Structure 1
Amino acid sequence: MRRALAVLTLLACSSTLVACGDADTPQTGSSEQETKTIDITIEGDSVTPNGDRVEVGVGQPIELVVKADASGEIHVHSSPEKEFAYDAGTTTLPLTIDKPGIVEVESHALDKTIVQLEVS
């Protein structure tokens, strides 16, 4: 009887330790991608960046952080196309591109390409 109780106790402790060990194991190859932040400054007729190419992953979360002296719109030439309005001050615009390729982010009012997203 003692032997059976000792075996059961040992098994219970082993199961608990194995379960705890799995929680501490770091995950590798996670499907979650880190958010790519792109800072955009619009002052008068000037925009920064101005046509720079930025690499992002398919489905990677993107934040366009727009600091502007006046309200306006940004056009994203993806499929489907997207339009984002921003206010004077700082506006954060979330974006995700689901297809590989080059996606232009533009200000039509300024007739300027702000950034080209190289999605792969």
Structure 2
Amino acid sequence: MGRRLVGAAGALLLIGTMAGCGGDEEAAGSDEPVVVEITFADGGVTPVGDRVEVQVGEPVDLEVTADEAGELHVHSDPEQELAFDAGTETFEIEIPRPGRVDIESHDLDQVIVTLIAQ
């Protein structure tokens, strides 16, 4: 019976160690930003109305490619206005609390993407 207890304790220790390693791998992967590609061309924008799930506090890169200067409005708390020039620019943002954050162009009166922070 003693051997069974030692074997069971060893198995539990091994499972606990493996679970701990898995948690570390997930945490390491969360440092990579979520990339949202936004393209302004010929008076329009893509995407239109997409939803993207992100984790609270996770970096989000808004990669903007535009044929003319403009501005993104990030309806977070606090709200952010991100001005961009023609060409390609990347803006890093984070969503500090759970909820929905719309990113839109007021010039086009369109929601480009909605971030769902969990």
Q: Establish whether residue 75 from structure 1 lines up as the match of residue 69 from structure 2.
A: no
Gaps of 5+ in 1: 1-24
Task: Figure out how many residues of one structure are paired with residues of the other and give that number.
Answer: 96
Letter of the structure 2 residue corresponding to residue 62 of structure 1: V
> Once the 2 structures are TM-superposed, how far is the Cα of residue 31 of structure 1 from its aligned partner?
6.5
Does residue 1:30 correspond to 2:42, yes or no? no
Q: In the aligned structure 2, how far is the partner of 1:61 from the partner of 1:68?
A: 22
Give the alignment's TM-score, normalised by structure 2: 0.75
Separation in 2 of the partners of 1:39 and 1:83?
Answer: 17
The counterpart of 2:54, out of the listed 53, 56, 61, is 56
* Residues 1:107 and 2:105 aligned together: yes
The answer for the alignment partner of 1:86 in structure 2 is 84
Instruction: Give 1:32 deviation, angstroms.
Output: 6.5
Instruction: Kindly state the Cα deviation for residue 79 of structure 1 after the two structures are TM-superposed.
Output: 0.7
Shift, 1:46, TM fit: 1.1
Q: Which runs of 4+ in 1 moved over 4 A?
A: none
Name the residue aligned to 1:98. Answer: 96
| Structure with greater proportional helix content | 2
> Could you say which residue in structure 2 is the equivalent of 1:12?
none
One-letter identity of the residue aligned with 2:104: E
* Counterparts of 1:27 and 1:117, CA distance in 2: 25
SS of the residue 1:30 aligns to: helix
Distance of 1:26 and 1:110 partners within structure 2:
44
Larger radius of gyration: 1
- Matching residue's letter, 1:42: F
> If the length of structure 1 is used for normalisation, what is the TM-score?
0.74
Alpha-carbon distance between aligned partners in 1 of 2:114 and 2:22, rounded to the nearest angstrom: 35
Measure the CA separation in 1 of the matches of 2:39 and 2:28: 31
